[in-house]
Amino acid sequence: MKEVILEKDIERIGKAGDIIKVKDGYARNFLIPQGLALEVTPSNLRKLEEDKKQKESQREKVKQEAASLAEQLSGMSCTVTTEASDDDKLYGSITAMDIARAIEIEKNIKIDKKSVLLEEPIQTLGIYEVSVKLHPEVTTKVRVWVTRK
């Protein structure tokens, strides 16, 4: 058996950065020539540790950027105007894309429509609290006013 460091995720074997034991022939004839794994050596282990530290610092930076954006969005409100009937039912509905566009237009903050968490599209006039997930660990609420044109 030979120990190798995986360079890429391989189904049913492991994820990139994992140190695994595989048969010598599998490592020598497939994993290493295909660039899927490296032999475990002191220099490769140092490289692995450096890569892990770099990825962790990058993740932390992205999380901090999301937290600062969440601070800007927290307690913010935006308005979406649309056509509606006399009994306050909308002609159509307000989707996550509409809310993301309204935030971008009003506050000049660009967020992805996939970040806006709507269980179902808004179909009546009113005020709604909508969650915006900016990072797996960072979520904030935005107040959305749906008004008649």
Q: Assess contact for 23 and 37: CB atoms under 8 A.
A: no
**Same-fold call for 2-62 versus 70-148:** no
CA distances from 21 to 30, 32, 41, 114 (A): 14, 13, 14, 39
Give the mean pLDDT of 8-18: 92
Q: Which CATH number fits domain 70-148: 3.10.430.100, 3.30.930.10, 3.30.530.20, 3.30.70.20?
A: 3.10.430.100
Give the mean pLDDT of 46-75: 92
- CATH code reported for the domain at 2-62: 3.40.5.10
Give the mean pLDDT of 7-13: 92
The count of other CB atoms within 10 Å of the CB of residue 53 is 10
Angle, vertex CA 114, rays to CA 110 and CA 118, nearest 5: 110
Asked if the model's pLDDT at residue 28 lies above 90, the reply is: yes
pLDDT tens figures, 62-87: 999 999 999 988 889 999 999 999 99
Tokens coding 146: 């749906």
Domain limits, the chain: 2-62, 70-148
Q: What is the pLDDT of residue 107?
A: 87
Q: What is the pLDDT of residue 96?
A: 95
CA dihedral of residues 51, 57, 63, 68 (deg, nearest 10): -150
Give the mean pLDDT of 23-33: 95
Give the mean pLDDT of 26-55: 94
Asked if the model's pLDDT at residue 149 lies above 90, the reply is: no
pLDDT tens figures, 92-140: 999 999 999 999 999 898 999 999 999 999 999 999 999 999 999 999 9
